[in-house]
Amino acid sequence: MIPKILHQIWLTGELPEKFWQWRLSWMYYNPDWTFKLWTLYEFLDCYGKNLPGKLHDLLQGDKLCYVLKTDILRWLCLYYEGGVYADTDVECLFPFEALLNYKSFAGTSYPPNGIGNATIGAVAQHPLMMDIAERTADRILSDIDVANATVVEFGVNLAGKLLEKADKIFPVYAFYPTWCDNFTAPDRTNAKTKHHRSYSIHHWTGVDKGGWVDNTILKKKCEDIGIKGDQVETLDLAKEVMDYLIKEKKLSFPQLQR
């Protein structure tokens, strides 16, 4: 059974304000879970000694862009601890309890990716998670210019093909409802309410101005300035803020039916 852990990654630790409502939605619908927000150095402190050399070198080095480091880290978080991984711009719409019975799961996204990597789950030590991490590293290292390895080719598209081996593949509406009616561009209009069978929704902030598409090369090492994702004080404070915002009607979550 997949453990009740949500893994999210922000390499420098200080999650921008615009992502917090989406992070809080996971706490709202899955209140008895553990919520982790990993920085790069926190992960390396915990598991760096266990990593294959090529993975450690790519993550520790300066040349690889931060988005590809995040792409690799998501598989490793799930491999070593198990749980559910979600991008920071993914909003939870319904409890994930029923999904934890699978050994691994992912969801159909948009062509040509096939399977999306923004919301995935797996039990600890699932071989597919390490396989994707290592194959991603191999594909990146096969390129002469590692610093300019493209996110789409070496990250998203490669993972989309490999994830076809996941134990459960959900239909597109489960995690990517913005693509249900239009496979050429995401339709964000009323996507949360139009597709009532969705468990989560990816808001695709990477294509927004200032997103990772605009900034794919990290110019210096990430500094570990964050708070550990599993500190109780941080989670309690987040829940207090969430409860206050709901009470003041400044934050709301739809009650969707299945």
- Name the phi and psi angles at 162, rounded to 5: -70, -30
The DSSP line for 192-228 is HHH-TT-SEEE--GGGSTTSTTT--S--SPPP--S--
CATH number at residue 154: 3.90.550
Domain count, the chain: 1
Residue 255 lies in a domain: no
CA distance 38 to 82: 14
Is position 253 within any domain? Answer: no
pLDDT of residue 243: 57
**Single pTM value for the model:** 0.76
CA distance 21 to 89: 9
Residue 133 belongs to some domain of the structure: yes
Count of helix runs (H) and strand runs (E) in the chain: 10, 8
* 255 secondary structure, DSSP code: -
Is 171 strand, coil or helix?
Answer: coil
* Residue 128, pLDDT score: 97
Q: What is the pLDDT of residue 68?
A: 82
- Which is nearest to 133 in space by CA: 86, 84, 76? 76
pLDDT at residue 245 in the model: 55
Flag whether 34 is in a domain. Answer: yes
The per-residue pLDDT for 35 is: 96
Domain-located, residue 158: yes
Instruction: Tell whether 62 is covered by a domain.
Output: yes
Distance between CA 92 and CA 201 in Å, rounded? 7
Domain contains 204: yes
Q: Strand runs (DSSP E) across the chain, as ranges? A: 5-9, 34-38, 83-86, 90-92, 104-108, 115-122, 168-170, 200-202
In a domain, 252, yes or no: no
Q: Which of 252, 108, 246 is nearest to 192 (CA)?
A: 252
Q: How far apart are CA 166 and CA 104, in angstroms?
A: 6
Q: Which domain holds residue 56?
A: 5-247
Which residues in the chain land under pLDDT 70?
A: 13, 110-113, 143-157, 179-195, 205-258
